[in-house]
Chain A
Amino acid sequence: MSLIKGETGEWEVVIGLEVHAQVSSNAKLFSGAATAFGAEPNAQVSFVDAAMPGMLPVINDYCVEQAVRTGLGLNAQINLHSVFDRKNYFYADLPAGYQISQYLQPIVGKGTVVLDMPDGSTREVGVTRLHLEMDAGKSLHDQDPRLTYVDLNRAGVALMEVVSEPDMRTSEEAGLYLKKLRSIMRYLGTCDGNMDEGSMRADVNVSVRKPGGELGTRCEIKNVNSMRFVQQAIEYEARRQIEVIEGGGAINQETRLFDSKQGTTRSMRSKEHAHDYRYFPDPDLLPLELDPAWVETIRASLPELPDAKKARFMKDYGLSSYDAGVLVGEKDTGAYYEAVAKGRDAKLASNWVTGELFGRLNKADTALADSPVSAAAVGELIDLIADNTISGRIAKDVFDEMFATGKGARAIVSEKGLTQITDTGAIETAIDQVIAANADKAEQVKAGKDALLGWFVGQVMKATGGKANPAKVNELLRAKLKN
């Protein structure tokens, strides 16, 4: 547990997150309109989305299935009976004047998310609930000096609101929670987790207290839309609250906005000015009744999720908790690794994938899906190391070439003549030449100056263009100089 030091001692930060995750679905939650990102404004709006008179919502079964799948992925209780409510408030981008959401009876109840801590340990964060709701449209205030434009493409898009327990204690944990939640949803194919496109947004609840004390008054920071901002917002907000309390003030329960330019939060509305949303069950929609057998069908179709995959990687491949955690973060990463490791040294495969490949991808700002080197190609390279065709050091150069040109390892090795020299005669010839040219140093080694032996190894490697098998060079040099 990490605490923040204030003037009056240490403070504990208590964090809960409400994540709005856009359901991966081609159609909206209550209409058949499309949901693709980046369409022309108001190009994906049905009469229902625009709340024309007499229009009625009809639930999209696929979105329900996605919510159930997500709930199962969070090891959560699936509520076979749930209810859609209207949340009433006026805003220009909320055409009906109410948002259809789930208030008292959500589709998914309590679940858990396991955080993979950097030290390899794990920590559980409770999920309070997950409910389905529709998104609002977007008000564009910067298109005209006087007018606000409204884009309803998002209006009616299905969202899952995932509410956590106030179980997190540091901004890092909040970041890890978001990362894990996103990873699970991406494995499940229920949300693409793309924060840039607004597919995932977080409201952050922050309070501070003296360790072990009563929970403090919380503030809710709205609509923070990147992992980094979530962490920044928490850091700022926690320090602000500590300063207020230590300065003799009290925290007001309020909604705050995160200013991503300043990295600060500012008050949006206080509890006294909170909306009265006048929730009531939507009379246009019947309660949602799920067939338990249908839920079981979905459960049976779930893919292996990150936690299970991590455990399997540790057990089957002997990987460390950390390496396994890195490899299972994304579904395609795990699959890539498994393709490389199949029939090969699992640890070596892990090193090449997490170290060499990820390092280069990172540097090139390239996604794994666009990697110039396929899993099969990495495998081929590892095979060349394993059968002593090339040394590990040469392999790194070959990999650079593979990354730059997309050529295969074997092709590069033969093209550039990089095959390792294991032929004793050839190596001996090189050794003899080096000794002959450095007779004085050879004498010193013979006289006991072992430190110079390494220098000789280097010279021989240089003379063979790095291709000599280093172990063999060492062995033969020793034989010649030490006997």
Chain B
Amino acid sequence: MAALTDLSLAAARDGLAKKKFSAREIAEAHIKAVEGARGLNAFITETPEKALTMAAQSDARIAKGEARPLDGIPLAIKDLFCTEGVLTTAASHILDGYTPQYESTVTSNLWRDGAVMVGKTNLDEFAMGSSNMTSYYGPVESPWRREGDNRPLVPGGSSGGSAAAVSARLALGATGTDTGGSIRQPASFCGIVGLKPTYGRCSRWGIVAFASSLDQAGPFARDVRDTAILMRTMAGHDPKDSTSVDLPVPDYEATLDGGVKGLKIGIPKEYRVDGMPAEIEKLWSQGIEWLKAEGAEIREISLPHTKYALATYYIVAPAEASSNLARYDGVRFGLRVDGDSLDDMYARTRAAGFGAEVRRRVMIGTYVLSAGYYDAYYLKAQKVRALIARDFDQAFGQVDAILTPTAPSAAFAIGDKMDDPIAMYLNDVFTVPASLAGLPALSLPAGLSGDGLPLGLHLIGRAFDEATVLRAARTIEKAAGFTARPGAAS
């Protein structure tokens, strides 16, 4: 039998139900794996005792024949989700010692269904970054290496710790949050599946806010089925989040193998950007062929405002962030650096508490909202955002899902692109448009780069149609037969 850490989530679930192994055994195997992989720096806080307690509860329920959908499944939780009684940092110095007295809705849903928490994962500070380099707790290393090159690589970001943990077999699944690509890009870099649901599908209550109109929680897993299973538990209406939508959550797993026969798949011509590596271009063509072979109808579509998406995103997201992060002021919790006056205390606390990237975005956001600039930047960005959403609306009049690459490159080395924020921002060029339109989008591993690193394909669906996205992803997954695994996990 495979190691317990190598099981898929679905196989672990089924094995637990058949009592082939216990939740305690799975938990212990993962706790050991987490300890053994500390070099990756994937976790900010490990919670082995909590994992064992939760596993014991799962075992008790399984013994009584009262197993819940995720009983005994070890998960890693991005440290942006508030967890009751467990340090929650957002990877920021400013949240030093902050232990919430409440549990986020999404993690509550997971625990309700029996999942087990192994720890809180590292991330870019306040989820601002695409490399996990901006964390106050230091960068996360990807478990992957280029062939013949042992330089550590970034796992992507901002949910880098979660992606690295799932890829390195430290958890069977993980939560992430995605504002402009923070689930999909690290999933692509780490060779796993990541789904950003429709905005409003998962509650944002209890998740440290970055950009409220874009933030959305979603699952990471090693295959599409596991992603579907986690998605079902995480989703659902929450009256505590006014932007959460009251729609039934389908059984995504049940429709997973429905195939793509007759499905119309859009290929947006605007995503063929200059300088895209040939191997990514090739992977994209391969993806099209796989879908076509399974009976999908391929259509070229146009999303004309795509080229404005990144600029729009880097106005809207920092604007909201500048306001969302005002609460970190040293008054009520977290870090405080005393000063000569209230304003001085604010300035010192925030200067010491926020890293460079967060400070940069707070300043950009403050600037675009200020008197005299609001119309030219924020208001204009909102108008362009509406046009981008309209592009998708029109496209979905003709197609059922859209296929693109997830990122314009494979993972890069730790330290690269650090001196050039714009180059870093370009990582999100394919993921940001769906975020601005609030649409569900998924990245799945579909091939390897020339030097042996995973590359992801990206599927975008209609609002609240995660089921079709997962179904198309499952089709590609079967065709791609991606079996590569990172060196650190072999």
A contacts, CB < 8 Å to B: 47, 50-59, 86, 88, 90-92, 95-98, 148, 150, 276, 278-280, 283-286
A-B CB contact pairs (8 Å), 25 listed: A52-B332, A53-B82, A53-B90, A53-B100, A53-B209, A54-B81, A54-B209, A57-B242, A58-B240, A58-B241, A58-B242, A90-B343, A90-B346, A92-B329, A92-B331, A98-B323, A276-B371, A278-B322, A278-B369, A278-B374, A279-B369, A279-B374, A283-B320, A284-B242, A286-B243
- Which B residues are in CB contact (< 8 Å) with A283? 211-213, 243, 320
Contact with A along B83-98 (1 / 0, CB 8 A): 0000010100001001
| Residue picked from B88, B102, B329, B374, most chain A C-beta under 10 Å | B329
- Which B residues are in CB contact (< 8 Å) with A54? 81-82, 100, 104, 204-209
- Which A residues are in CB contact (< 8 Å) with B101? 47
- Which A residues are in CB contact (< 8 Å) with B332? 50-52, 95
Interface of A is mostly: loop
- CB closest chain-A residue, reference B213: A283
Expressed in whole angstroms, the minimum distance between the Cβ of A218 and any Cβ of chain B is 19
Q: Is A285 a contact partner of B242 (Cβ separation < 8 A)?
A: yes
- Which A residues are in CB contact (< 8 Å) with B100? 52-54
Expressed in whole angstroms, the minimum distance between the Cβ of A279 and any Cβ of chain B is 8
Expressed in whole angstroms, the minimum distance between the Cβ of B56 and any Cβ of chain A is 28
- CB closest chain-B residue, reference A150: B331
- CB closest chain-B residue, reference A92: B331
Q: Is A96 a contact partner of B326 (Cβ separation < 8 A)?
A: yes
- Which A residues are in CB contact (< 8 Å) with B331? 92, 95, 150
Expressed in whole angstroms, the minimum distance between the Cβ of B85 and any Cβ of chain A is 14
Q: Is B242 a contact partner of A53 (Cβ separation < 8 A)?
A: no
Expressed in whole angstroms, the minimum distance between the Cβ of A134 and any Cβ of chain B is 14
- Which A residues are in CB contact (< 8 Å) with B342? 91-92, 148
Complex: A96 Cα to B326 Cα, angstroms = 6
Other-chain residue from B81, B239, B329 in contact with A58 (beta carbon distance below 8 A): B239
Complex: A54 Cα to B105 Cα, angstroms = 10
Complex: A54 Cα to B203 Cα, angstroms = 11
Q: Is A280 a contact partner of B207 (Cβ separation < 8 A)?
A: no
Q: Is A284 a contact partner of B212 (Cβ separation < 8 A)?
A: yes
Cβ-based interface call for B252 (8 A): no
- Which B residues are in CB contact (< 8 Å) with A58? 239-242
- Which B residues are in CB contact (< 8 Å) with A285? 242-243
Expressed in whole angstroms, the minimum distance between the Cβ of A229 and any Cβ of chain B is 27
5 nearest A-B residue pairs (beta carbon): A97-B326, A283-B212, A283-B213, A278-B369, A51-B327
Q: For chain B residues 367-402, which have a beta carbon within 8 Å of chain A?
A: 369-371, 374, 378
Q: For chain B residues 171-223, which have a beta carbon within 8 Å of chain A?
A: 204-209, 211-213
Number of interface residues of B (CB under 8 A): 44
Cβ-based interface call for B21 (8 A): no
Complex: A86 Cα to B241 Cα, angstroms = 17
Q: Is B88 a contact partner of A278 (Cβ separation < 8 A)?
A: no
Complex: A86 Cα to B319 Cα, angstroms = 11
| Residue picked from A47, A53, A58, A278, most chain B C-beta under 10 Å | A53
Q: A54-B207, A55-B206, A90-B329 are in contact. List 9 more A-B contacts (CB 8 A).
A: A52-B332, A88-B326, A96-B327, A97-B323, A97-B329, A276-B370, A278-B371, A280-B378, A283-B211
- Which B residues are in CB contact (< 8 Å) with A92? 329, 331, 342
| Residue picked from B204, B319, B369, most chain A C-beta under 10 Å | B369
- CB closest chain-A residue, reference B92: A53
* A-B residue pair count with CB separations less than 8 angstroms: 98
- Which A residues are in CB contact (< 8 Å) with B241? 56, 58
Expressed in whole angstroms, the minimum distance between the Cβ of A207 and any Cβ of chain B is 23
| Residue picked from A56, A59, A88, A276, most chain B C-beta under 10 Å | A56
- CB closest chain-A residue, reference B212: A283
Complex: A95 Cα to B330 Cα, angstroms = 10
Cβ-based interface call for B366 (8 A): yes
- Which A residues are in CB contact (< 8 Å) with B82? 52-54
- Which A residues are in CB contact (< 8 Å) with B327? 51, 53, 95-97
Complex: A380 Cα to B214 Cα, angstroms = 71
Contact with A along B314-330 (1 / 0, CB 8 A): 00000110110111010
Expressed in whole angstroms, the minimum distance between the Cβ of A213 and any Cβ of chain B is 30
- CB closest chain-B residue, reference A88: B323
- Which A residues are in CB contact (< 8 Å) with B95? 53
Q: Is A56 a contact partner of B242 (Cβ separation < 8 A)?
A: yes
Expressed in whole angstroms, the minimum distance between the Cβ of A361 and any Cβ of chain B is 47
Q: For chain B residues 224-277, which have a beta carbon within 8 Å of chain A?
A: 239-243
Q: Is A52 a contact partner of B333 (Cβ separation < 8 A)?
A: yes
- Which B residues are in CB contact (< 8 Å) with A53? 82, 88, 90, 95, 98, 100, 208-209, 327
Q: Is A56 a contact partner of B205 (Cβ separation < 8 A)?
A: yes
Q: Is B242 a contact partner of A278 (Cβ separation < 8 A)?
A: no
Complex: A50 Cα to B102 Cα, angstroms = 13
- CB closest chain-B residue, reference A96: B327
- Which A residues are in CB contact (< 8 Å) with B206? 54-55
Contact with A along B329-342 (1 / 0, CB 8 A): 10111000000001
Complex: A347 Cα to B101 Cα, angstroms = 65
- Which B residues are in CB contact (< 8 Å) with A278? 322-323, 366, 369-371, 374
Expressed in whole angstroms, the minimum distance between the Cβ of A282 and any Cβ of chain B is 8
Q: Is B205 a contact partner of A280 (Cβ separation < 8 A)?
A: no
Complex: A286 Cα to B88 Cα, angstroms = 28
- CB closest chain-B residue, reference A284: B212
Complex: A120 Cα to B322 Cα, angstroms = 55
- Which B residues are in CB contact (< 8 Å) with A96? 326-327
